[in-house]
Amino acid sequence: MQDNLFLHPDRLSISEFAAQCEQPLTLSDYPLAAEAQKKVLIYRGQTLLDGAQTDKAAVFGELHRALSSGPGVLVIKNAYPDPAVIVRHNRVFEAIFQAEAANGGGGDHFAAAGSNGRIWNSLQKAAEQDADAFIDYYANPTLALVSEAWLGPWYQMTAQVNVVRPGGKAQQPHRDYHLGFQENRDVQRFPLPLQQLSQYLTLQGAVAHSPMPLESGPTQLLPFSQRYAGGYLAWRQPAFIDYFQRHAIQLPLEQGDALFFNPALFHAAGDNLTANHVRIANLLQISSAFGKPMETVNRLRLLQAIYPALRRRHQQGTLGEAGLAALVAAAADGYSFPTNLDSDPPIGGLAPQTQQQLLRQALQEDWDTPQFTQRLARQQQLRSA
């Protein structure tokens, strides 16, 4: 399978996947870890900070190996040693929830609003709500240590709050952003090395803002599953879902603990089986500095400039499909993200409409220039924070 540059879903192998997931974890390979539970490495926040004072490269190397070639997941106990920082931030979250309640609140990618509570872009909203609480929360050297170990310097932080109420249902097992949010037909278009590369562009984290006993449904995890090369095509397949449901593990967390994992790790939030316990997590999605083009292009102005001529030539049929596809790729943004998920939510999938899709729609439906200009500006407005 590794020799195939473009992988087809029919060539996925559940036996190869199982072989990756069922390999043992050797704790001695990770000398900074306090212990391992169910093949998840458990670290102490202060141990990592102390280690970084004497040999930061060794700490970076161990954490990176743990997330890459190791189990792909680790827990840091007492990542937030001062409980007052978490409590104050919870008050910030509650104020934001109340402010957004009039609009119905937000659902997440896998559950409707009401079942789960979601604050999109909690990073910016928390800063605007209480600057001092924001500073105390994100001035966390443990968080910075893990982020730089995986992504290097200049990373960018984003965050979303997820609240799972009693009776909240488990998510479908999945991989995460980037390719985890795309349909298989789109994933297949990326060469396998690019699929594997994508996991190194983000780091997934979750800070426990409430105690998370097992019955409250902490994240289900499948250690070593990030090592299966075809995983971005596999996670929707029934055989892989069944394997996950039979082999995934969960660990209880205490308030102030942090869970970090490779975005390619198969995972899913669990069922909240309690009668009265609300599970609260601040989900951190931290991105590499390299996910950017070299130049800033005002694609709104570019598309407004070419649309009348492009519409005329499309009507005449002079470009052909290959020419049109090349032109659309060069002129318009083909990616759904970053966006404002409050105002630009996914429709019919996990990703909102792209600029390229809007341009295609305009040409197919033969919009005139004022209609296209209006819809294009509206799309950009919805995507802005």
d(CA 82, CA 263): 28
Domains and CATH numbers, the chain: 9-287 (2.60.120.620), 299-383 (no CATH)
| Burial profile 41-69: b = 16 or more Cβ within 10 angstroms, e = fewer | bbbbbebbeebbeeeeeebbebbbebbee
pLDDT of 2 reads 46
- Bridge partners (DSSP) of residue 76 are 43, 258
pLDDT for the residue numbered 104: 59
pLDDT of residue 1: 43
Cα angle, residue 287 at apex, residues 282 and 289 outer, rounded to 5°: 150
Q: Is the dihedral of CA 293, 297, 299, 302 positive or negative?
A: negative
**Full DSSP string of 80-131:** S--HHHHHHHHHHHHHHHHHHGGGT-B--SSS-BTTEEEETTHHHHHHHH-H
Report the C-alpha gap between 138 and 134 in whole angstroms: 6
**pLDDT value of residue 294:** 78
Q: How far is CA 26 from CA 31, 35, 71, 226, 315, in A?
A: 10, 11, 10, 17, 64
- Residue 287 phi/psi, 5-degree rounding, is -115, 145
Q: What local confidence, expressed as pLDDT, does residue 335 receive?
A: 87
Query: Tell me, what's the pLDDT at 195?
Result: 94
Separation between Cα atoms, residue 123 and residue 140, nearest integer Å: 14
CA dihedral 290, 296, 300, 302 (to 10 degrees): -120
Task: Judge whether 161 and 118 are in contact, CB under 8 Å.
Answer: yes
How far apart are alpha carbons 186 and 335 in whole angstroms? 11
pLDDT in tens, the chain (385 residues): 445 789 888 899 999 999 999 999 999 999 999 999 999 999 999 999 999 999 999 999 999 999 999 999 999 999 999 999 999 999 999 999 999 986 655 555 445 455 689 999 999 999 999 998 999 999 899 999 999 999 999 998 999 999 999 999 988 999 998 899 899 999 999 999 999 999 999 999 999 999 999 999 999 999 999 999 999 999 999 999 999 999 999 999 999 999 999 999 999 999 999 999 999 999 999 999 998 777 888 999 999 999 999 999 999 999 999 889 989 988 999 989 989 999 999 877 888 999 999 999 999 999 999 999 999 999 999 999 8
Place of tokens 């199982």: 18
Contact between 4 and 12 under an 8 Å Cβ cutoff? The reply is: no
Question: Please, which residues have CB within 8 angstroms of residue 110's CB and are 6 or more apart in sequence?
Answer: 171, 172, 174, 268, 269
| pLDDT for residue 8 | 87
Report yes or no: 228 and 234 within 8 Å, Cβ to Cβ.
yes
Provide the angle, in degrees to the nearest 10, between the axes of the packed helices 320-331 and 299-316.
Answer: 170
Extract the tokens encoding 56: 């930061």
- Supply angle C-alpha 99, 103, 104, rounded to 5: 105
For residues 150 and 288, give the distance between their C-alpha atoms in angstroms, rounded to a whole number: 9
Give me the sign of the Cα torsion angle 208, 214, 219, 224: positive
Q: Token pair for residue 118?
A: 């979601």
Residue type, 187: V
